[in-house]
Amino acid sequence: TKFVYSFDEGNKDMRSLLGGKGANLAEMTNIGLPVPQGFTITTEACNDYYENDHKIRKEILDQIDEKLDQLEKEQGKTLGAEQNPLLVSVRSGAVFSMPGMMDTILNLGLNDTSIKGLIESTNNERFSYDSYRRFIQMFSDVAMEVPKYKFENVLERVKEEKGYKFDTELSIDDLKEIVVEFKNIYKKEVGEDFPQDPKKQLLLAIEAVFRSWNNPRAVVYRKLNDIANNLGTAVNIQSMVFGNMGTDSGTGVAFTRNPSTGENKLFGEYLINAQGEDVVAGIRTPQSIDTLKNDMPEMYNQFVEITQILEGHYKDMQDIEFTIEKGKLYILQTRNGKRTAKAAINVVVDLVNAGVIDKEEAIMRIEPGQLDQLLHPTFDQKALKSAELLAKGLPASPGAASGKVYFHADDVVEHAKLGEKTLLVRQETSPEDIEGMVSSEGILTARGGMTSHAAVVARGMGKCCVAGCGELRVDEAAKEIRVGDRVIKEGQFMSIDGSTGCVYLGSIEMTSVEVGGNFGVFMGWVDEIRDMKVRTNADNPRDAKKAIEFGAEGIGLCRTEHMFFEEERIPAVREMILADNVEDRVKALDKLLPFQREDFHGIFKAMDGRPCNIRLLDPPLHEFLPHEDSAIEELAKQMGIRPTELKKRVVDLDEFNPMLGHRGCRLAVTYPEICEMQARAIAQGAILAMKDGHKVVPEIMVPLIGTVNELKMLRPIIEEAVNSELEKAGVEMDYTVGTMIEIPRACVTADEIAEVADFFSFGTNDLTQMGFGYSRDDAGKFLGEYVDKGVLEKDPFQVLDQKGIGKLVEMAVKLGRGTNPELKLGICGEHGGEPSSVEFCYNQGLNYVSCSPFRVPIARLAVAQSTI
Ligand code: ADP
Ligand code: MG
Ligand code: MG
């Protein structure tokens, strides 16, 4: 097998073998861009290393040797030689980009003799020792796991002793001394001398990159982004170019467009006289790429030309690393740039308008889940005016957030678990902070630029982030922020606006977003292509209106009981529940009817001719009753009965297992008058809406059917109630009666049920609960571990389990349509807004999916992608 490829042997389509970085280095080599040459060790070699007991086999070692020889010949240099030494970087490169998640070593090949060669060939002693000390530190950290701070401490000490502010002030003698001290640290920590043999250095570095595939932050990142664990990483060995050779050198990162907004303008940063990681790590605050135009006009023009070539070649926004060595430009990496949802939409709409890609391509490029970001609230403008502005940083990732500040990722995770809204505040973030970033509402850093770690990762996650807020003095050890004469301590509220960079004291009210502009254009294309309907779950006219704005085409689930909890009606609800004979119950129901009628009237008006699926009462009745003694007493007083009597009734209604107890259609079977009242209220509400001039399309849904006999009994009751209302009003109306399919037995006997039902709506929350036998309310105790231990791939309450629960759905669809070809099918569980579950529903031939209003656009896009 071929395990090692020179850059000129690969291309961009070989990602799975060469990793993203390697494939693109090869592609850029092919199209003639100035890429420092090198070779790539494949992901297969990485997997082989893991299979072979963490050893690199001889066959692979030989291939590496051969490519190294070849590189040395081409470059006319020898790795680590005393004269004209070749130095290389050893760079990880996974198939999917995992920015900063794995480790890279620069300047490899330096040792006590090759440093002489480097000094001779570059005529730059300071630079040479600077490179050597960087190499020792990086190698020790990445390959030998010697903590970075041991080296940083030495550096800080020397700077302090000499009264320097910047690394660049270190003299040659300082650096020489630092190199000696660094080597001593190595010896003390590792137990042997710093390796002088360049081949040994190389081998240890390659193994370290292989190992870094499994470092904790890489594992967390993969889990978050659904990247498989068995892909492995490639390793790129590339000859070094130096951005730290003086003021005619530098290094930087740029996006071909603005990754926050999508604006078609070069966006990036660079540092003069610096090497690789300095820009991303936020160690010095870099300059905007625009100023390169004045600093080095020639370099700027060349770079701009290359960025245009790259964007044209990849037909997408690129994120490009470059280095300038003594007035010569090199490109070190390109990849499709991570971007916010807003930028993603603006970029694809732009590319379609420019004729670079077509609409289908545009639709496929947007991750449905990403739309979530766009639909999230921002600060209320009025509340913002009275908020106290503390400082301004860089608007690194848009959105707004308020939360209690914490200074360590662990603290954020811990407090977020307790349900607190938190902000992660750091001097600067590093990949170790990733879990804290996930758990927080937003991220605030004092140092680092727009391409700093915090900024890049936050944009990818859709978290809001303000970076490089230099006015804040963040003291992570004391857990406080000082700004002016203010001190903000851990646990206090702050607010950040990632679109403006503003940082405020206290928490600020939020508002919802507008959906127009390019988003509207894009969603228009989505709707042109999409061929399955998307509805919403909404219980009131307000949610229904919101959902229509988001493109909902009907209500897939209106839970009537949500209307019961309101203050004026709960007494009537309780009266109904506590009635011990039919007459009393009917009396209480009569009080409830006008409320329900108004609810339905409002919803029918809001939906204006779109179908409305209304579910009859579902939860166990005791949910509406108080359980604490004091509350029972109060209610008894209100009702004019004795507390003991009430208490007895409450205890009577208590169930051992309410989820499997007296609920759903079982209530209607035992108390038909409840079902009858609701049917009448629906009919009356619909009649009122019709009188207002609206079209109405009611669908009346009976929950929790387990046997066809339940529906056979309830359907006539519903029809009689509705028809008598219509007759009374002298109007005609089409309506349907159907069932929720959420009990496994209903799936298995769907052929029978479909003979009496006009529609099925899959209630996949309950179906998952009952299919797995996992109580929804208790599953939290074990599901997390099930997923961590790989017993389950995903939480089945979030992502439909297609294999098991999906099979029940499939069976119900086939059996149901078999006896009733007209049967209308939909889904109304949480899964209706989850992209992979939506695709499943599409493939089953459902008529619609239904989800919460904010997920409607996500579902629309997921349907369009399934259609393509
Ligand atoms: P990451 O995936 O974390 O970005 P990279 O492998 O891209 O890691 O490298 C880290 C930094 O080192 C980048 O800024 C990159 O441009 C720089 N770098 C990598 N290889 C070289 C090289 N051969 N010469 C100069 N700089 C390099
Ligand atoms: Mg990189
Ligand atoms: Mg249910």
Distance 277 CA to ligand 1 centre (A): 7
pLDDT score, position 78: 95
Q: Which residue's CA is minimally distant from atom 12 of ligand 1? A: 276
Between CA 647 and CA 838 the distance in angstroms is 46
Q: Which residue's CA is minimally distant from atom 13 of ligand 1? A: 276
Count of H helices and E strands in the chain?
34, 33
Return the bridge partners of 496, or none.
401, 503
Q: Report the candidate in 393, 497, 399 with the shortest Cα–Cα distance to residue 450.
A: 393
pLDDT in tens, 263-286: 999 999 999 988 877 766 556 778
pLDDT score, position 513: 67
If one compares 864 and 170, the residue with the highest pLDDT of the two is 864
pLDDT score, position 457: 78
Q: Which of 45-54, 497-506, 564-573 has the lowest mean pLDDT?
A: 564-573
pLDDT score, position 189: 95
Q: Which residues contact 560 (CB under 8 A, 6 or more apart)?
A: 539, 596, 599, 614, 615, 616, 617, 678
Q: By the 8 A CB rule, do 433 and 465 touch?
A: no
Distance 764 CA to ligand 3 centre (A): 8
Distance 452 CA to ligand 2 centre (A): 12
Q: Is the pLDDT confidence value at 70 over 80? A: yes
Q: Is the pLDDT confidence value at 522 over 70? A: yes
pLDDT score, position 784: 79
- The predicted model gives 438-445 an average pLDDT of 94
Q: Is the pLDDT confidence value at 468 over 70? A: yes
Torsion of CA 500, 101, 245, 41, to 10 degrees: -140
- Pick the ligand that lies closest to the CA of residue 101: 1
- The predicted model gives 522-546 an average pLDDT of 92
- The predicted model gives 768-782 an average pLDDT of 86
- The predicted model gives 810-834 an average pLDDT of 95
Look at residue 723 and give its three-state secondary structure.
helix
- The predicted model gives 121-135 an average pLDDT of 92
Active site residue 453: yes
pLDDT in tens, 851-865: 988 789 999 999 999
How far, CA to CA in Å, does 24 sit from each of 279, 304, 320? 21, 18, 11
pLDDT in tens, 244-270: 888 999 999 999 999 988 999 999 999
Distance 39 CA to ligand 1 centre (A): 14
Look at residue 536 and give its three-state secondary structure.
strand
CA atoms within 13 A on the CB side of 779: 18
- Pick the ligand that lies closest to the CA of residue 332: 1
| Candidate list 46, 464, 828, 851, residue with the active-site label | 828
In DSSP notation, 120-188 reads HHHT-HHHHHHHHHHHHHHHHHHHH---HHHHHHHHHHHHHHHT-SSGGG--HHHHHHHHHHHHHHHHH
- The predicted model gives 673-678 an average pLDDT of 96
Q: Which residue's CA is minimally distant from atom 11 of ligand 1? A: 276
Please give the share of the chain, as a percent, with pLDDT higher than 90: 70
pLDDT score, position 74: 95
pLDDT in tens, 571-583: 888 888 888 889 9
pLDDT score, position 67: 98
pLDDT score, position 229: 86
- The predicted model gives 668-679 an average pLDDT of 96
Q: Which residue's CA is minimally distant from atom 3 of ligand 1? A: 100
pLDDT in tens, 632-659: 888 888 878 888 888 888 888 888 888 8
Q: Residue 418: what residue type?
A: L
Please give the share of the chain, as a percent, with pLDDT higher than 70: 98
pLDDT score, position 402: 95
pLDDT score, position 482: 94
| Candidate list 376, 415, 453, 831, residue with the active-site label | 453
Write out the two tokens for 412: 């954020």
- The predicted model gives 75-92 an average pLDDT of 94
Confidence tier at 515 by pLDDT (50, 70, 90) = low
**Mutational pocket test of ligand 1: of 89, 103, 118, the residue with most ligand atoms within 8 Å of the beta carbon:** 89
pLDDT in tens, 352-375: 999 999 999 999 999 998 887 787
Q: By the 8 A CB rule, do 493 and 402 touch?
A: yes
How far, CA to CA in Å, does 405 sit from each of 411, 492, 493, 496? 10, 6, 6, 11
How far, CA to CA in Å, does 329 sit from each of 124, 303, 845? 20, 8, 55
pLDDT score, position 440: 95
Q: By the 8 A CB rule, do 107 and 87 touch?
A: yes
Distance 352 CA to ligand 2 centre (A): 29
Q: Report the candidate in 559, 607, 573, 614 with the shortest Cα–Cα distance to residue 765.
A: 559
pLDDT score, position 192: 95
Is any atom of ligand 1 closer than 6 Å to the C-beta of 332? yes
How far, CA to CA in Å, does 75 sit from each of 23, 203, 239? 21, 20, 9
- Pick the ligand that lies closest to the CA of residue 138: 1
Instruction: Work out the mean pLDDT of the chain and round it to a whole number.
Output: 92
- Pick the ligand that lies closest to the CA of residue 705: 3
Write out the two tokens for 646: 């009430």
pLDDT in tens, 379-431: 887 888 889 999 999 888 878 999 999 999 999 999 999 889 999 999 988 87
**Mutational pocket test of ligand 1: of 7, 106, 283, the residue with most ligand atoms within 8 Å of the beta carbon:** 106
Residue that has been written with the tokens 């490519």 in this structure: 67
Query: Counting atoms of ligand 1 from 1, which one is nearest the CA of 242?
Result: 25
Look at residue 747 and give its three-state secondary structure.
helix
Q: Report the candidate in 532, 563, 557 with the shortest Cα–Cα distance to residue 544.
A: 557
Q: Is the pLDDT confidence value at 26 over 90? A: yes
pLDDT score, position 560: 86
Confidence tier at 377 by pLDDT (50, 70, 90) = low
Q: Which of 144-148, 302-306, 836-840 has the lowest mean pLDDT?
A: 144-148
Q: What DSSP designation does 274 have? A: -
Estimate to the nearest angstrom the gap between the alpha carbon of 259 and the chain centroid: 16
Is any atom of ligand 1 closer than 6 Å to the C-beta of 378? no
Q: Is the pLDDT confidence value at 541 over 90? A: no
Does the ipTM exceed 0.85?
Answer: yes
Confidence tier at 99 by pLDDT (50, 70, 90) = low
pLDDT score, position 598: 93
Q: Which domains does the chain have, with CATH numbers?
A: 241-339 (3.30.470.20), 377-511 (3.50.30.10), 530-620+655-867 (3.20.20.60)
pLDDT score, position 609: 95
Active site residue 562: no
If one compares 135 and 578, the residue with the highest pLDDT of the two is 135
pLDDT score, position 512: 65
Length of the chain: 868
Q: By the 8 A CB rule, do 94 and 57 touch?
A: no
Q: Which residue's CA is minimally distant from atom 23 of ligand 1? A: 240
Write out the two tokens for 468: 């490089």
pLDDT score, position 540: 84
Query: Counting atoms of ligand 1 from 1, which one is nearest the CA of 279?
Result: 14
If one compares 95 and 567, the residue with the highest pLDDT of the two is 95
301: how many CB neighbours lie within 10 A of its CB?
13
